[in-house]
């Protein structure tokens, strides 16, 4: 059975400028600054590209974030790769550990993370494996 880490996290998003090529595309670019609490005691920084449709409740984003801290007491870091869409209010997400990105005691980590938002608070469930 895979270990599962759970908890909440705080996130700060800040708008960033797009490249000249993308400036007229309707895309948005944001920096991510997170603090994870619970089984994953860590901080992360990352970049997000997003798009919000004129259709209410439809949008998408991709992101990469570098996570550093401890996971169930094991110290190290890894990269999370995000791809998510919302189609008229129905959300789908794929947030995976980028292969071979683990460092320290998290070297060799793989897995997927799910985000839920309840009453404005962000929560995660992280199914992972370590060698």
Q: What CATH code is carried by the domain that includes residue 17?
A: 2.40.350.10
- State the chain's mean pLDDT as an integer: 95
Structural domain boundaries, residue 76: 4-129
- Rounded to whole angstroms, how far apart are CA atoms 93 and 96? 10
pLDDT at 3: 87
- Rounded to whole angstroms, how far apart are CA atoms 111 and 14? 27
Instruction: Label residue 88 by pLDDT band (50, 70, 90).
Output: very high
What value does the mean pLDDT take over residues 65-77? 98
pLDDT at 23: 81
- Beta-ladder partners of 55: none
How many folded domains does the chain comprise? 1
What value does the mean pLDDT take over residues 18-22? 86
Instruction: Label residue 102 by pLDDT band (50, 70, 90).
Output: very high
- Long-range Cβ contacts of 83-88 (<8 Å, 24+ apart): 84/60, 85/58, 85/59, 85/60, 86/57, 86/58, 86/59, 86/60, 87/57, 87/58, 88/55, 88/56, 88/57, 88/58
């Amino acid at each position: 059975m895979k270990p599962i880490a759970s908890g909440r996290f705080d996130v700060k998003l800040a708008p960033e400028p797009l490249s000249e090529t993308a400036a007229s595309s309707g895309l948005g670019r944001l920096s991510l600054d997170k603090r994870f609490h619970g089984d994953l005691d860590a901080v992360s920084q990352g970049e997000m590209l997003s798009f919000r449709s004129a259709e209410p409740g439809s949008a998408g984003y991709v992101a990469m974030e570098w996570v550093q801290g401890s996971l169930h007491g094991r110290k190290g870091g890894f990269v999370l790769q995000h791809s998510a869409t919302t189609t008229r209010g129905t959300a789908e997400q794929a947030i995976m550990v980028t292969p071979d990105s683990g460092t320290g005691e998290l070297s060799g980590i793989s897995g997927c993370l799910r985000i839920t938002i309840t009453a404005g608070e962000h929560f995660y469930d992280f199914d992972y494996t370590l060698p």
